[in-house]
Amino acid sequence: MLSGHLEANIYEKVVELARRRGFFWTAYEIYGGVGGFYALGDLGVKLRDRIVELWKQLFVKGHGFLLVDTPSIGPHSVFKASGHVDNFKDPMAECGVCGRKYRADHLLRDSGIRVSEGASTEEMEGLLNGNGVRCPECGSSRWRVRMFPTMFETRIGPYSESTGFLRPETAQGMFVEFRRIYETARERMPLGVAQIGRGFRNEISPRQTMVRLREFNMMELEVFTNPEEGCRYLAGLENEELALVTEDMAKRGEHAPLTIGVHDALSQGLIKNEWLAYFMVLSKRFLRLLGVHHDKQRFWGKPPEERAHYSQQTFDHEVLIPGLGWVEVAGLAYRTDYDLRAHSKASGKDLHVSMRTAEPKTEKMMRWRIKDMMELKEILGDKLKEFMELFEEHKDDERFPELIGSRLGIDVDELPLEAEEKVETVHVKRFYPHVIEPSYGLERLMLATLSWAYGIREGNRIVLSLPPYVAPIQVAVFPLITRDGLPEKAKEVVRKLSERFDVLYDEGGSIGRRYARVDEIGVPYAVTVDHRTLEDNTVTLRSRDDWSQIRVELGELEDELEELLSLPNLETTR
């Protein structure tokens, strides 16, 4: 009944509704607006908070995971260590004459010059100047190429050398504070740490109100796991189906997803980590609970060149939004031990965890030993420092000689090295936890939720069929007419209900108009006080979705509403 025929422009309709009724709108409107920033109104805040609550319920509370909150601004050192300073940037070519700026690699490609993926700024600058590439605006051909970080840069305190960055993801806070979080969690493993907060990315071109933002809210969960252990929550979900577009499929241009059971996806190696698979299932259910049907969801495997620098495998959870196409609402990444390892190295602080193994294990270990240091020094000369760095890191690796051969170009047989076998009894396993990260963009979730709730009834009546448990306003109360003491009685009901629900009271216009007004903002239930209420203390309870009405005793109203507004059983969301 809720029609889908206006699918094509539903995005515009949703944005218009959001603005008109106060969910959200472009920020700084009175100054002409600034792209990439938006403001939330009352309904928007309430909707957002309900989505956050649902997320916490599913992702955090259900597993006994922890919540933290860390700063939005971090020092240079943190983002240097995390790899963002080096990777989170674009090459920009600046015209030496007019000062205009372009993407250097695009400029080259547009001029028909081949440029490799990892070309340095010097190489690109050389190519631009060497080939006489002209500035599209002023025609000159003197270029300077620099890297432009996509992070917002700022200063911390009055000292200009103390640069800081606005975090591009909340995740780093959880890695940086890992040591203390781990201790306060009494060294629990697996350990899930969640953070809801803002992230900032200085996007080249923000788009589409809530889709590409420069400042936005994220809900991120970092699950620190023992890489040798699977995910115990997966039990019972092995046959749950996921719609995958794998890296290989994407490469072949196959965009129709493969529907495959979790167990099969894991055993065929399509998903490389059990925890990742588990969160994909959870993610699918989460979006279903927000009103996005399963056939409007898919998981898109990111090829290496599109993945973040820290990721071994990433699936974007995409949902179809009518009028927009497939939109990424979450990134589910297997970050391995990249971040903890990087911060450990950069800070010099030990971020390993150690766990007592079930049984003491006798392990045969092999390691390389230097027989004669003086001789080594003589042979290597000034390569010694580099050798020792590699040696410290890889002395346990059987293939160390090959590594040295390829890195230093030295014939290993000439070095005074010997392989030493050792038998050790180990009670404790020390490792960097491997991290699985489901990360959600809150604004996109809101947009997806609103889009799939949006419908038109009887030609022109907008009905926002939000799932009751995320509706910003949960119940509306109306006096049927504005005399005979009905408004007074209705206000009593409002006072009572306000203790437990977000309530809206309205006595303006006809009853039909009032129902229409609340349908439009997704209020799932309306209570109407009429003359009979004065006689027998019953009211009508009207449902937004089918317009049905039932008569409810005022004494039972709150419990009845509580029931209607509760979360459905998770199993029913498959």
Partner RNA sequence: GCGGCGGUCGUCUAGCCCGGUCUAGGACGCUGGCCUCCCAAGCCAGUGGUCGCGGGUUCGAAUCCCGCCCGCCGCACCA
**C-beta of 509 vs 568, nearer to RNA:** 509
Is residue 349 at the binding interface for RNA, with CB under 7 A as the rule?
A: no
Binding test (CB under 7 A) with RNA, winner from 94, 169, 318, 443: 169
> Which of these, 118, 127, 128, 123, lies nearest to 96 by C-alpha position?
128
Is residue 121 at the binding interface for RNA, with CB under 7 A as the rule?
A: no
**C-beta of 422 vs 531, nearer to RNA:** 531
CB of 310 to RNA, least distance (A): 8
Binding test (CB under 7 A) with RNA, winner from 178, 287, 528, 557: 528
> Which of these, 485, 471, 488, lies nearest to 543 by C-alpha position?
471
Binding test (CB under 7 A) with RNA, winner from 23, 65, 88, 452: 88
**C-beta of 343 vs 542, nearer to RNA:** 542
Binding test (CB under 7 A) with RNA, winner from 158, 269, 512, 555: 512
Please report where in the chains the tokens 């209020």 appear, as a residue.
523
Binding test (CB under 7 A) with RNA, winner from 422, 461, 495, 574: 461
CB of 269 to RNA, least distance (A): 22
Helix spans in 152-246 (H): 171-176, 178-184
Do 442 and 49 contact (CB within 8 A), yes or no?
A: no
Distances (CA, A) of 475 to 321, 452, 510, 512, 522: 28, 21, 18, 16, 10
> Which of these, 457, 382, 442, 395, lies nearest to 422 by C-alpha position?
395
Distances (CA, A) of 496 to 543, 554, 564: 20, 10, 17
Is residue 164 at the binding interface for RNA, with CB under 7 A as the rule?
A: no
CB of 189 to RNA, least distance (A): 24
* Residues in CB range of 15: below 8 A, 6 or more apart: 209
CB of 537 to RNA, least distance (A): 13
Distance from first CA to last CA of the chain, Å, rounded? 23
Long-range contacts of 537-545 (CB under 8 A, 24+ apart): 539/493, 542/515, 544/463, 544/465, 544/518, 544/519, 545/463, 545/465
Is residue 115 at the binding interface for RNA, with CB under 7 A as the rule?
A: no
Q: Using CB under 7 A, which residues numbered 9 to 38 contact RNA? A: 11, 16, 19-20, 26, 32-36
Q: Using CB under 7 A, which residues numbered 547 to 566 contact RNA? A: 547, 549
Rounded to whole angstroms, the Cα distance separating 350 from 179 reads 8
**C-beta of 287 vs 529, nearer to RNA:** 529
Is residue 114 at the binding interface for RNA, with CB under 7 A as the rule?
A: no
Tokens representing residue 177 in the block = 């504070």
Where does this chain bind RNA (CB under 7 A)? Answer: 11, 16, 19-20, 26, 32-36, 84, 88, 90, 101-103, 106, 136, 150-151, 168-169, 201, 203-209, 212, 302, 306-308, 314, 323-324, 331, 439, 460-462, 480-484, 508-513, 515-517, 519-520, 528, 530-532, 539-540, 542, 547, 549
